[in-house]
Amino acid sequence: MSEQHNVTIKDIAQKLKLSVSTVSRALRDSTEIKPATRQLVRELAAELRYSPNPIALSLKEKKSKIIGVIVPEIANNFCAATIAGIEDIAYSRGYHVIIFQSHEKFEREVINTQLLTSRRIEGLIISLSNETTSLTHIHEMIGKGIPVVMFDRVSDEITTHKVVVNDYYGAYKATEHLIQEGFHDIVHLTISPFLSITQKRLNGYCDALRKYNIPQKKEWIVHCNFDAAEIERSIRRLFSGPDKPNAILASVERLATICMNVLRDMNLRIPDDVALVGFSDNPISHLLSPALTSVRQPTFDIGQQAAELMLNLIENKHAVPKFRTVQLETALDIQASSRRVGVLQEGSR
């Protein structure tokens, strides 16, 4: 048989002089077929490298076995690692994954949901874009019977399963660490105020300042979009006046890496002049100069948890779900970018 030919159930049936329906049931391990026949069919299928056609199966079962995933940006290490976790569970359970990027744009996110709906996906796993303030498109998907699971950037407006990390505690411990290292003039560089992670991380930052009786300055809470030039301008403005910060807590990985480059370009030494802490689970953080202190997030586990929750919704459609919010813990990975040598820690101020 030609290597170009995709082996079908009909090919196996002809070689064994069996009916197509017998071969089909044997491959499904049906007890209606004798064990010896099932074994014969499986052996020939393995020899011919037969694999089921997923499109044909989906048409027959009226299930696409496809899960849609929308993330802000695949190039982001957080999203890439989370997708790996989603795929790990999905593929092990016989599902395929289609991935779309919003590129932090609301319009792209809406178009992505429309395209995925047209492809008869079984469900959607999503992390919202930086621009998303309206969730009509998500409500519409749920209204059409498509289950949705949210992760990382979630919304209280949507009643469904969610997977998050302890954003509040992560930001609190990062801010407290900077204070205890002797840095008290701390900027919080963050993203859209509408996102759940922004609100929780901001609350953690503010509560840590409050604990140590450090005044909170509104001008030192800087919300950024994801335009690199605009982020750079925002950082440079912080150091243009007489009142300059000596530490920055960046709420997402992209802000932290851009910040490091801008500070270096401004001839500011890290951490001697300005300490820097980011939210990141990127292994390359240790290879930066200086190595970046980061609030680590269990990204692969986030993806696995989201996929498990999604498959439970898909495979138990007739059961009334009790929606859960799974919260995973963060860990502060202290590196050179925030460690001030020779300064006594101030555990109590």
State the pairing for strand pair 148-151/123-126.
Answer: parallel
**pLDDT > 80? residue 344:** no
State residue 202's pLDDT score: 98
Domain ranges in the chain are 9-52, 62-165+299-330, 167-297+332-338
For 150, other C-beta atoms within 10 Å of its C-beta total 24
State residue 87's pLDDT score: 96
d(CA 330, CA 169): 8
Angle at 149 between CA 148 and CA 151, to 5 degrees: 140
State residue 51's pLDDT score: 72
State residue 75's pLDDT score: 86
State residue 33's pLDDT score: 85
Average pLDDT of the chain?
A: 89
pLDDT band at residue 2, thresholds of 50, 70 and 90? very low
Q: What is the mean pLDDT of residues 130-148?
A: 95
What confidence tens digit (pLDDT) does each residue in 228-262 have? 999 999 999 999 988 999 999 999 999 999 999 99
Residues 6+ apart with CB under 8 A from 57: 65
State residue 53's pLDDT score: 62
Q: Are 90 and 65 in contact (CB under 8 A)?
A: no
Q: What is the mean pLDDT of residues 310-330?
A: 89
- Listed residue (204, 232, 206, 235) closest to 222, CA to CA: 235
Residues 6+ apart with CB under 8 A from 258: 228, 231, 232, 235
The size of the chain, in residues, is: 349
For 105, other C-beta atoms within 10 Å of its C-beta total 17
**pLDDT > 60? residue 303:** yes
**pLDDT > 80? residue 36:** yes
Pick the CATH number of 62-165+299-330 from 3.40.50.300, 3.40.50.2300, 1.20.1530.20, 1.10.287.3510: 3.40.50.2300
Q: Give the range among 167-181, 188-202, 273-287, 295-309 with minimum mean pLDDT.
A: 273-287
Q: Are 204 and 172 in contact (CB under 8 A)?
A: yes
Question: What are 269's two structure tokens?
Answer: 């030494």
For 295, other C-beta atoms within 10 Å of its C-beta total 29
Residues 6+ apart with CB under 8 A from 7: 1, 45, 48, 49, 50, 51
d(CA 23, CA 16): 9
What is the DSSP code (8-state) at residue 219? G
326 three-class SS: strand
d(CA 130, CA 109): 10
More confidently predicted of 51 and 307: 307
Fold agreement (62-165+299-330, 167-297+332-338): yes
pLDDT band at residue 52, thresholds of 50, 70 and 90? low
d(CA 198, CA 154): 11
State residue 56's pLDDT score: 54
Residue entry with tokens 């492809």: 119
More confidently predicted of 161 and 48: 161
Q: Give the range among 35-39, 154-158, 187-191, 325-329 with minimum mean pLDDT.
A: 35-39
State residue 67's pLDDT score: 96
What confidence tens digit (pLDDT) does each residue in 172-209 have? 999 999 999 999 999 999 999 999 999 999 999 999 99
- The CATH architecture annotation of domain 167-297+332-338 reads 3-Layer(aba) Sandwich (3.40)
- Listed residue (240, 246, 237, 170) closest to 214, CA to CA: 246
pTM, full prediction: 0.79
Which amino acid, residue 156? D
State residue 346's pLDDT score: 42
- Listed residue (41, 52, 47) closest to 6, CA to CA: 52
State the pairing for strand pair 148-151/161-165.
Answer: parallel
d(CA 300, CA 81): 5
